[in-house]
Amino acid sequence: MEIETSGDQMVLNMGPQHPSTHGVLRVVLRTDGEIVRAADPVIGYLHRCFEKHAENLDYPGVIPFTDRMDYVASMAQSLGFALAVERLAGIEVNERVRLLRVVMEELQRIASHLVALGTYGLDTGAFTPFLYCFRERERILDLFEWTCGARLLYNYNWVGGLSHDVPEGFEVRAREFVDTFEPVLADLNNLLSFNKIFVERTARIGVIPAEVAIDYGISGPNLRGSGVRWDVRKDEPYLGYEGFDFEICTGAGRFGPLGSCWDRYFVRVAEMEQSCRILRQALDRLPATAGMDVHAGLPKKVRPPAGEVCSRTETPRGELTYYIVADGGEVPFRVKVKSPSFVAISSIGEVGRDHMIADVVAIVGAYDIVLGEVDR
C-alpha cells in the first residue's frame, strides 16, 4: 500500500502484530507528529475462504466453519446459518429448540461483551476490570461446556434442531449465573464505566454521527451507540423475540458528544442487563417444553428446493447476514456473508482522522471487531 506524505509526515504501521488491533489487523497511519492525518485499514491476514468452503460442503457440514468466523460469539454465527437454511428448506423447529437457542444466544452475547469490555479496559490502561470480566465469562463457558462439550467452537445450532439438549440442572445454574452476575455489572461500572480517567479517555473521541453510521452500514452496538434505535431482534424478530420484554439500548451522549467511544462501550454494558432480562423470561418458559426432542426436526438429508434466501440476525457485533442460493442439491450453490465487523472497520479512516495515535487505539477497541469475521 502506498500513502502519499508531505512535509514532516510519517507513515506508521499499527499492526498486524499489535495487541490493541484485536487480531491481525494492520492500520496504516499517516502521522503529523502525534496527530493522525489518515488511517487506512488493511485486512486479509486471516483469510480462510469460508464462502468457498461452504460451496463444497453439504449444509450441515458448513456449521462448524461458521463457528470459526466470529470465534468469540460462535453460537450466534451458527444460529444465523441454521435459521437461513431452515427458512430456505421450510423446516420448522419446536418451541424447546427456539427457547434454548434464545438462552444460548443471550448467554453468548454476555460472554462476547465481557471480552469486548475487559480488553477495552486493557486498551485504555485498566487491568482489574479485565479480570472481573473474564471471571464471569468463564462461568458462561462452563455452561456451554456442560451442554455440548466445547468452550469456544460449539457446532451447537444444527439445521432443524440442536446438537444437545441441556443437561438436568442447567436451568438452576443458569439462573444462579444471572442472579450473581448483575451485581458484578455494578462493580464494573464503578471500576471502569464511570471512572474519571476512563471517561476522559473515551467520551470525546471517535465520534460517529448517526448519519455517518447509517451511510457506512454500521450496525449493532456501534450503530446504537450513535443513538439509532435499530435491533433486528425487535425490528425483524426471529426465534420469538417479539414475545420477550426487553429494551433497545442506545447512546445518550452522557459525558460528551453522542456517538463517542464511551457511548459504544456503555451500550454493551446496558445490553448485558437486557440479556439478563431475556434469560430470566426464557428460563421461566423452558420447563413447559420438557419432553420435546431437540432432534425432532432434524432431516435425514438437507436438500432445499432451488431458490435463494437472505437472512439476518443480531449478533453481539451487529447484523450478520447470510445470503444462500440453492440449486436443489445437498450442497449450497452460493453462500455470501455480510459481517458487522467488516462493515464497521471500513469507517476507521473517517472516524480516526485528526486524532492522536493513542486515541486510534481506543477507537479501534471501541468497534469490538473480530478479524476472523472480517476476513472470513
Report whether 133 contacts 118 (CB < 8 A). yes
Instruction: State the burial class of residue 90 (Cβ atoms within 10 Å of its Cβ: 0-12, 13-18, 19+).
Output: exposed
Specify whether the CB–CB gap between 340 and 318 falls below 8 A: yes
Stretch 158-178: mean pLDDT, rounded?
A: 97
Report the 10 Å Cβ neighbour count for 117.
24
| Contact criterion met (CB below 8 Å) for 161 and 97 | yes
Give per-residue pLDDT as tens, 50-87: 999 999 999 999 999 999 999 999 999 999 999 999 99
List the beta bridge partners of residue 154: none
d(CA 351, CA 81): 31
Task: Identify the pLDDT of residue 228.
Answer: 97
* Residue 218: all three cell numbers together: 454500521
pLDDT, mean of residues 114-125: 94
Closest CA to 285 of 331, 225, 244, 224: 244
Share of the chain above pLDDT 70, in %: 98
Is residue 37 classed as helix, strand or coil in its secondary structure?
strand
Answer for the pair 250, 229: CB distance below 8 angstroms, yes or no. yes
- The pLDDT confidence band at residue 376, using thresholds 50, 70 and 90, is confident
Residue 2 has a pLDDT of 52
- Given a cut of 90, is residue 138 above it in pLDDT? yes
pLDDT of amino acid 19: 83
Give the span between the Cα atoms of 89 and 15, in whole angstroms: 43
Q: Which pairing describes strands 334-338 and 318-326: parallel, antiparallel, or unpaired?
A: antiparallel
Peptide bond into 16 cis (omega under 30): yes
Yes or no: say if 343 and 41 are a contact pair by the CB < 8 Å rule: no
For the chain, the average pLDDT equals 94
Q: Are 207 and 260 in contact (CB under 8 A)?
A: yes
Give yes or no for residue 316 having a pLDDT over 60. Answer: yes
pLDDT tens, residue by residue, 27-43: 999 999 999 999 999 99
13 — phi, psi (to 5°)?
A: -90, 120
C-alpha pair distances (Å), 238 with each of 17, 67, 160, 174, 192: 39, 20, 15, 22, 34
Residue 79 has what pLDDT? 97
pLDDT at 6 over 70: no
Rounded average pLDDT over 296-309: 95
Mapping DSSP to helix (H, G, I), strand (E, B) and coil, where does residue 29 land?
A: strand
- For residue 14, pLDDT over 80 is answered with yes
Least confident of 14-23, 90-99, 203-212, 218-227: 14-23
Q: pTM of the full predicted structure? A: 0.95
Task: Give the mean pLDDT of 158-182.
Answer: 96
Residue in the structure block whose three cell numbers are 451507540: 225
Which class in CATH covers the domain with range 50-345? mainly alpha
User: Which residues share a beta bridge with 1?
Assistant: none
In angstroms, the CA 337 to CA 310 distance is 10
Q: Using only C-alpha atoms, what is the Rg of the chain?
A: 21
What is the predicted pLDDT for the residue at 22? Answer: 86
Q: Is the pLDDT of residue 15 over 90?
A: no
Residue 23: per-residue pLDDT? 86
Asked if 23 contacts 48 with a C-beta cutoff of 8 angstroms, the reply is: no
- pLDDT for 5 equals 56
Distance CA 185, CA 183 (A): 5
Give the pLDDT confidence score for residue 3 in this predicted structure.
54
Asked whether the beta carbons of 101 and 79 are under 8 A apart, the reply is: yes
The pLDDT tens digits for 257-270 are 999 999 999 999 99
**Per-residue pLDDT at 247:** 96
